[in-house]
Every structure is written in C-alpha cells, then in structure tokens.
Structure 1
Amino acid sequence: MDKSNFQPYEEEIQALEEEIRLLTEKYEDIQQESTFFSDEEILKSIKSFQNETQEEIRGNESDLKAQLETLATNLSFLMKFTGFNFTSHSKKTLEKTRNRTVQKHRLSGRCHSLAFQLEFQLLEMQDNEEMSAVVSDLSIIMESRKDSNVSKFLSRTEEHGDLLTFFISLSTYAEWYEHRRNTFLHFKAKYPDIVTLPEGLQGDFMILKNPKVSGFELVIVWKIHLDEEGTTTPVLDLLPKVPEQVLEKRTSSVESIPGSFRSALQLFGIEAAIENLIQVLGSEK
C-alpha cells in the first residue's frame, strides 16, 4: 500500500500527541501552584477564615440580642397597657392531619390583681391559603365568679368560646377593680380614724365614721357591674346611717347627703368626691 495513504493518520496522531503534551504541562503547572504555599501562609488563611466566621457569628448574636430586647420591651409595654401577666401555658396535640390540627391548651395568669385559669381546645383548619381557628370546650376559673354578674358573663363567654371578648372585657373590669382597691387603700392610709373597710381591700364598700359622733356612718358603695356582653360600668352610691337623735334634728341635711355626693361624682370624679365627703364629715361635731 502506498505510504501516502497513511500520511493523514500520522499527522492526526502527531496533533493528538502534541495536545496531550500541552495538557500534561498545564496540569503539572497547576499542581505546582497549588502546593507552593508555606505553612505560614496556610495558618494565616485559616486564621483569616476563623476571624471572618467569628465576626459573622458576633453579628448574628448582636442581631438576635437586639431582637430579643425589642420583644421584651414590646411585651413589657403590653403587660403595662393591658395589665395581663401570663404565668404558665401548656398545650397538647390531640389530632393532626395535613389540613387540620386540634390542640388542648391550658393557660393561667393575672390581670392586675385578678387571677384566672383557662382551658380550651383550638381547632385550626387550612383551606387552600386560608387559615381558620375555632375555640371549643372553653372553661374559665376565676375567684370573681362569685359575683353573679361576672358569673353570667363568664358562662356566656364559655358558651360562645369567645376568648377575644374575655380578654378585652377582663382588662377593663380588672382595671376598675384595681382602681377601687387602690382608692380604698389610699383613703384608709390617709384617714385611719375615719375610714373602715369591713371586707378589706377586695370588698365593694367603705364606711366613713366621725369619731366625735357616735353611731353616725356613711357607707360608700362601689359596685363594678359587668354585663353579659362584657361591658364594665362602675356604680357608686352613698347610704347614710344616722342615729335617731341626730336624724330628728338634721333630717333635711342628712337626706341631702346622697344627692350631693352623686353630684360631686359627676363634677369632680371619684377621688375628689370622697375626699370632700371625708373633709365635711371630719369637720362635723
């Protein structure tokens, strides 16, 4: 066979061999470059990487700390604004599927000076992108339930599973409850010889006595009415208890005391009206 027939193949083989040689040299150069690092350079690179990692961690910690401080500030504000302080909470999952979850919750806490305990089931349902929640089996324990009006409100709330109304209404009711308590405490401390609290600070009436007039008493009744809808209304009135000998001499002036007290409530407010009444009572002989 003529050698000219093999010439194209020989040229192609030579071209491939040259390409292989060039690639081999390039690979060796890369290998040499990758191994030409001193121990000092390697340690320096490791230290640099560690510093960058630590700075990133410190940055993340700083962000988390700032977020926690913000959350704590917001929580403190909400507690002061609403009076709520939750002391314990637990939950137990009773049922869980792809689009349905049933959990049992137990919650306890205080709103100002009123303690409460709640137990309820929460059904959460996922429908496409919409989430809905339903409260059921709601049970509320409160010492104030002894009050018939409070008991009716709580029973209605339990029946409807209306937690939102419960928290809103309890916040207002407890605020008035605390206001009454602090007012009684203030006047008892300021006028210990005149003010008497037969049922203590948790009671709903205060007795004013003039030490110089035996048997003469003014009973300030301060009820806090909570209706079934959750509306809180303070109701104040004054009931005079007057000895017969005093009543015979000053019938008209005694009978006018309750009306004058109600007018003072509207004009000056609760504390000022009580203060004025005590001043007048203390000046009587």
Structure 2
Amino acid sequence: MDKSIYQAYEDEIRALEEEIRLLTEKYEDIRQESTFFSDEEILKSIKSFQGETKGQEYPSDLKAQLESLGTDLSFFMTLTGFQFTSHSKKTVEKTENRTVQKHRLSGKCHSLSFQLEFQLLEMQNNEKVSAVVSELSIVMESREDSDVSKFVSSTEEHGNLLTFFRSLSAYAEWYEHRRRTFLHFKAKYPDIVTVPEGLLGDFIILRNPKVSGFELMIVWKIHLDEEGTTTPVLDLLTKVPEQVLEQRMTSVESIPGSFRSAVRLFGIEAAIENLIKVLGSEE
C-alpha cells in the first residue's frame, strides 16, 4: 500500500485522538462545575436524605459516611466561620505534566462576603505535584477599610491563598465578636448605650441620663496589617460639660487610662461592663 495512504490514516487517527481529548476535557469541566454544591446545600441534602431513609433499609456504612460528612462540615463551618456558596473551574491548558485551571469562588466568613478569581498551575515532576497560584483577584465588601484594602492588595500581589483564608478567618471572627459585644450591651443597657453607626460600626457611646452632655465614646478598631496579622485596638474618648470638668478634672482625665488598663487586665467585655456600671452610678 502507498505510504501516502498510511500517512493519511495516521493523520486522521491523530486528529480523532486530539478531538477526543478536547471533548473529554470539556466534559470534565462541565461535570466538575455542575457537581459542586455549597456547604448549606450539602447539609440540607444530608438532612433530607436522613429524613427519607426513616423506615427504609440502607447500608450502615453509607449512613455512617453521611453522618460523618455532616459532622465534619458543621465542625469546619463552626471552627472557621467559612461558608462557600459557589465554585467553578475551567481547564485552560492540560498536558502530560502540566495543568492550568481558572477558578471562581465565592462565600462568606461570618458576616464578611468575598469573591475570588485565580489561576492554578499544577505541575508534576518525579511523582511530586506542585501548585502555583497566579492572577489572583479578590473582591470584599469591607475593602473600603484602608487596612483591609492594603492586605488584599498584598495578598493579590503574592498570590498567597493560605494567608488570605487564615487571616480572613481571624479578622472576621474579631469583626463578629465586636458586633455581638455591641449588641449585648445595647440590649442590656438601652438607656446608657447607643450605637450611632449601627452594630457594624467601630464605636459605641455611653451616656448617663442623669448628667446632660456627659458622653464616653468607646472606639474599637480592628487592625489588619499587610502580613495578615489581626490586632484589636480599643480607646476611650470623653465629652464632658465644663461644670463637670471643673469639679472632677482629675478623675475625668484618668478615665481613658483606667479603661485601657482594665482592658489589658480583665478583657474587653469586663472593662466595658465596669465602665457602664460606674457611669450609671454617677449623679
């Protein structure tokens, strides 16, 4: 048979193999995108399945696996505060030793929402797999905060997803802790505590209803540096009528320092509680 005929067959076979490879990759991308479920959807499905299985016989190992999955997922969400709401990935390039995928991920950590887009390069060499993140883009609602904006910019530049998730978890936990603390004292002492900027603001105001014009402002900042370290910073500002200041200048001037010392010694909640009680007892 003529060699040109063999060559034509070989070219056709290679073309078919390439087409099969591309179709397989496309199928995998579609399958991966369509089979991702959010944490809430997984938990809902597990509970639904458990309800449907009442009175029916299913393998005990399957039930155990589902219960273990639900427990692990609930523990993860409680421990980190993360809930992932959507995820998709698309294969951009794939060879024998190299795979490039485009990922999109959204979710929230406690009350802070976020969206991520990044490219993941996986390379296999001598049975070892390495992964490199690039083209990282982060969108956060709280990015108007200068600290958060600097941290996000630094994380995008270095492509460090681990630092992002670890630091966001710590920052969002303090953010949520501040919100709950403000809510607690506002509910417990409604005549004394006000939150002018709402529970998501960074300060509360204490007023003694018996002393007109006397105010204490507790400022609670949450500092996040570019390396991802979270530090709560509290301070106390005073607004005192002149007649009160003239009578008790020494005691009034010592309030901010005493408050900062109480925070270091007894903790935030105890320091605020003590300050409110002292303020409420003043005539």
Quick check: TM above 0.5?
Answer: yes
Who is 2:13 aligned against?
Answer: none
1:68 shift after superposition? 2.4
1:59 shift after superposition? 9.8
SS for the counterpart of 2:113 is strand
* Residue type of the alignment partner of 1:213: V
Who is 2:191 aligned against?
Answer: 193
SS for the counterpart of 2:63 is helix
Q: TM-score, normalised by structure 2?
A: 0.78
| Aligned match for 1:167, one of 162, 165, 168 | 165
SS for the counterpart of 2:171 is helix
SS for the counterpart of 2:200 is coil
Give the number of the structure whose alpha-carbon radius of gyration is greater. 1
| Aligned match for 1:226, one of 219, 224, 227 | 224
* Residue type of the alignment partner of 1:229: E
Q: Aligned residues, how many?
A: 228
Q: Which runs of 5+ in 1 are unaligned?
A: 1-57
Partner deviation per Cα, 1:108-127 (whole Å, 9 max, x = no partner): 11111111111111111111
Instruction: Tell me the distance in 2 between the aligned counterparts of 1:75 and 1:284.
Output: 50
| Aligned match for 2:203, one of 199, 202, 205 | 205
| Aligned match for 1:100, one of 83, 87, 98 | 98
1:60 shift after superposition? 8.4
Partner deviation per Cα, 1:174-202 (whole Å, 9 max, x = no partner): 11111100000000000111111011010
Instruction: Tell me the distance in 2 between the aligned counterparts of 1:66 and 1:96.
Output: 37
SS for the counterpart of 2:62 is helix
Instruction: Tell me the distance in 1 between the aligned counterparts of 2:57 and 2:245.
Output: 79
Partner deviation per Cα, 1:110-168 (whole Å, 9 max, x = no partner): 11111111111111111120101110111111111111011101100000000000000
Identity of aligned residues (%): 82
Q: TM-score, normalised by structure 1?
A: 0.78
CA RMSD between the two structures: 1.4
SS for the counterpart of 1:213 is coil
Instruction: Tell me the distance in 1 between the aligned counterparts of 2:59 and 2:116.
Output: 36
Who is 2:29 aligned against?
Answer: none
Who is 2:53 aligned against?
Answer: none
Instruction: Tell me the distance in 1 between the aligned counterparts of 2:58 and 2:125.
Output: 36
1:245 shift after superposition? 1.7
| Aligned match for 2:131, one of 111, 125, 133 | 133
Who is 1:260 aligned against?
Answer: 258
Give yes or no for the alignment of 1:66 onto 2:52. no
Matches within 5 A, 1:31-42: none
Who is 1:249 aligned against?
Answer: 247
Instruction: Tell me the distance in 2 between the aligned counterparts of 1:66 and 1:237.
Output: 51
Partner deviation per Cα, 1:226-271 (whole Å, 9 max, x = no partner): 0011000000010011111211111111000001111111121111
SS for the counterpart of 1:156 is helix
SS for the counterpart of 1:105 is strand
* Residue type of the alignment partner of 2:63: K
Give yes or no for the alignment of 1:274 onto 2:276. no
Who is 1:25 aligned against?
Answer: none
SS for the counterpart of 2:176 is helix
Shift in CA distance, 229/99, structure 1 to aligned 2, threshold 3 Å? same
Instruction: Tell me the distance in 2 between the aligned counterparts of 1:276 and 1:60.
Output: 57
Instruction: Tell me the distance in 2 between the aligned counterparts of 1:115 and 1:245.
Output: 48
Q: Which runs of 5+ in 2 are unaligned?
A: 1-55
* Residue type of the alignment partner of 1:205: F
Instruction: Tell me the distance in 1 between the aligned counterparts of 2:122 and 2:264.
Output: 48
Give yes or no for the alignment of 1:236 onto 2:266. no
Partner deviation per Cα, 1:83-112 (whole Å, 9 max, x = no partner): 111111111111111111111111111111
Instruction: Tell me the distance in 2 between the aligned counterparts of 1:283 and 1:73.
Output: 48
Instruction: Tell me the distance in 2 between the aligned counterparts of 1:66 and 1:158.
Output: 40
Who is 2:75 aligned against?
Answer: 77
